[in-house]
Amino acid sequence: MKKRRLIFLTNDDGYAAKGFAAAIELVREFGDVVAVAPATPQSGRSQAITMYEPIFLELKHSEPGLEVYSFSGTPVDCVKFAFDHLLADRKVDLVVSGINHGSNSAINVLYSGTMGAAIEGSFYGCPAVGLSPTDHNPDADFEAAKEYARTIISSVLESPDDSGRPLCLNVNVPNIEREQIRGVRVCRQCRGIWREEFYRHEDPRGKPYFWLTGSYTNYEPEATDTDEWALQNGYVAVVPVQIDMTSYPQMSYLERILK
């Protein structure tokens, strides 16, 4: 009998999020599932790790083929804990992070806890997939995301990348009717940034506080090979992610001025 696959699942919205339940349903189709997800919402946590606090683990659910834990740290803490402790003597075949409530396209890959976890997962020698529909609604419909994710995950498991590079996919799904989605596009990360506004209010004792909000500026709205373009034109955007942040073109400038 063929050994069942082992899938590790996490997210950044916390174990109680609707998207996490949808992800559990989806990934169980591919094998046994161990899930370790944050105890509380951790959106925007990026690749953060918890260095100065203890982290508490709770088993939330257990049945044959499925274990769900909450962990009081960041998404990346969940991945590290799973691979370096909980599952240290087992072979994991796939990491899935999500299904997120909201887009992680373009520069959001830097801030996203969902993608932080997916990136971290890819360091452990199995493919990792972050799943994010662009719908932020807590009650979002995840059916289209599940359907496309199912195809993408199947393809990755059946035809592994043999390049020796860690495989990490940033998959974003447009918030439109499933029938209107035009297919999947492999894209590059769009250039652009967030500009923030800080709402200023006062607490009940008169102490001022600020609350971050903002809007995204696309630096290259004309380019048709970006994840932003794909989403705006009705495609599921798939960006392969790597972590070498060296700016090679700037090295000669620096060598010149730092001589």
Which residues between 92 and 111 bind its own copies (CB under 8 A)? 107, 109-111
CB of 176 to its own copies, least distance (A): 19
Cα angle vertex 248, ends 247, 250, to 5°?
75
Q: Minimal distance in Å, beta carbon 142 to its own copies?
A: 20
Q: Rg for the chain (alpha carbons), in Å?
A: 19
3-state SS assignment for residue 252: helix
Which of the residues 173 through 232 are near its own copies (CB under 8 A)?
184, 186, 188-189, 191, 193-198, 201, 203, 207-212, 214
Given 43, 104, 114, 134, the residue binding its own copies (CB under 8 A):
43
Of 21, 55, 87, 176, the residue at the interface with its own copies (CB under 8 A) is: 55
The contact pattern for its own copies, residues 58-87, with x = CB under 8 A and - = no contact, is ---------------x--xx--xx--xx--
Q: Give me the residues paired with residue 95 across strands.
A: 8, 128
- Say which residues have a Cβ less than 8 Å from residue 116's Cβ, sequence separation at least 6: 12, 45, 46, 47, 48, 74, 75, 76
How many angstroms separate the first and last alpha carbons of the chain? 64
> Shortest approach of its own copies to residue 1 CB, angstroms?
27
Q: Are 19 and 41 in contact (CB under 8 A)?
A: no
CB closer to its own copies, 18 vs 191? 191
Residues 230 and 238: their CA atoms lie apart, in Å, by 9
In angstroms, give the least distance from the CB of 203 to its own copies: 7
* Least distance between its own copies and beta carbon 109 (Å): 6
Between residues 99 and 153, which has the closer beta carbon with respect to its own copies?
Answer: 153
Shortest gap between Cβ of 118 and its own copies (angstroms)?
11
> What whole-number distance in Å separates Cα of residue 19 and Cα of residue 34?
16
Q: Which of residues 20-39 bind its own copies (CB under 8 A)?
A: none
Binder among 35, 68, 144, 168 for its own copies (CB under 8 A): 168
Task: State how far Cα 87 lies from the chain centre.
Answer: 20
* Closer to its own copies by Cβ: residue 83 or 142: 83
Q: Does 54 bind its own copies (CB under 8 A)?
A: yes
- What gap in Å lies between CA 168 and CA 111, rounded to an integer? 16
Q: For residues 159 and 85, what is the distance between their CA atoms, to the nearest angstrom? A: 29
Q: Considering the complex, state which of residue 26 and residue 78 has its C-beta at the smaller distance from its own copies.
A: 78
